[in-house]
Structure 1
Amino acid sequence: MSKTISASDLGIHLKKDDESALFKWFIASFLMGKRIQAEIAAQAYRVIVEKHGRDSAQKFASCSHRELVVMLGEARYVRYDETTATRLLGLSKKLRDEYAGKIGHIREVSDDRQAFEQRLREFDGVGPKTVEIFMRDAAGVLY
């Protein structure tokens, strides 16, 4: 059984209206929501967000699919690297195009927590597990 990794374990300090922290935790949650060891997912987060500075939907926009696959490989996140790269790029594009790049905007247009979680699941590759991981730490600052 792999250890549960929290936002603070990754150095992400969630605060109300801190879009940068919410985005980083959403990316980390997405990576950990897959059938992959939590430590490898955490390493992929560190490589993509900390080492390569892809810490906003805007910064993901300047990243090619190939560059993202290389970053995932660097973290040994190789089992699903192609689909994960595609989905991460799609996720950041959808967030940028539909919600001005902000998790807070998803919250603002959602009537309640259930509606918010449903909107999260509308992102390609985001399922119940990713939402559960994300909300475990983010619910306190969102609701």
Structure 2
Amino acid sequence: MGKNVTAKELGIDLVQGGENALFQWLLASFLMGKRIRAEAAVQTYHVIVDRHGRDTPGKLAACTHRELVRMLGEGGYARYDESTAVRLLALAAKLMDEYDGTVSAMAEASADRREFEKRLQDFNGIGPKTAEIFLGEAGEVLF
């Protein structure tokens, strides 16, 4: 697998998959946007989504910090597990609180792609790199 893993390679269909696919791609983009081996990010994504079924903001937000740290470790994301767990739980909670748990609602609240990107980067742990990864594929679906 190359440096840039696609949504399709993760089994995410952004066109047909609707809201769940958008959230799963956001989660994957978040994991891949960090300074970590792509393989570890992909493995961790599969652990969280496939093995533990935390594939929506609500299901992710329902995790305890300790459960999420354990999942991150299981996926090989051990070096950043504590801070990443905090940020992922905050991401899920903010999505639930401010955007009814949907990426689409965040897009609808944004005047354009640039404003959406700014909203995305308001999440703790999402910087330009993660936004670029996410919008590289989801941008076509959302805008």
* TM-score > 0.5 by shorter chain: yes
Greater RCO structure (CA 8 Å; 6+ sep): 1
Three-state SS of the structure 2 residue aligned to 1:63 is coil
Equivalent residue runs for 1:9-20 within 5 Å: 9-15=9-15, 18-20=18-20
Q: TM-score, normalised by structure 2?
A: 0.97
Give the superposition deviation at 1:62.
Answer: 1.4
Give the superposition deviation at 1:16.
Answer: 6.6
For the aligned residue pairs, the C-alpha RMSD in angstroms reads: 1.4
Matched, 1:53 2:77: no
Counterpart contact for 1:16–1:142, Cα < 8 Å:
no
**Aligned residue pairs: how many?**
143
Q: Deviations over 1:91-111 (max 9, x none)?
A: 000000000000000000100
94 and 54 in structure 1: CA distance in 2 versus 1, 3 angstrom threshold: same
Three-state SS of the structure 1 residue aligned to 2:6 is coil
Q: d(CA) in 1 for partners of 2:81 and 2:13?
A: 27
Q: TM-score, normalised by structure 1?
A: 0.97
Q: Percent identity at matched positions?
A: 57
Specify every segment of 5 or more residues in structure 2 that has no aligned partner in the other structure, as ranges. Answer: none
Give the superposition deviation at 1:3.
Answer: 2.3
Three-state SS of the structure 1 residue aligned to 2:78 is coil
Q: d(CA) in 1 for partners of 2:47 and 2:133?
A: 20
Matched, 1:134 2:140: no
Q: Deviations over 1:41-77 (max 9, x none)?
A: 0100000011100000110121000000000111111
Would you identify which runs of 4 or more consecutive aligned residues in structure 1 move more than 2 Å? none
Amino acid corresponding to residue 25 of structure 1 in structure 2: W
Aligned to 1:66: 66
Amino acid corresponding to residue 13 of structure 1 in structure 2: D
Specify every segment of 5 or more residues in structure 1 that has no aligned partner in the other structure, as ranges. Answer: none
Q: d(CA) in 1 for partners of 2:30 and 2:3?
A: 16
Three-state SS of the structure 1 residue aligned to 2:126 is coil
Aligned to 2:80: 80
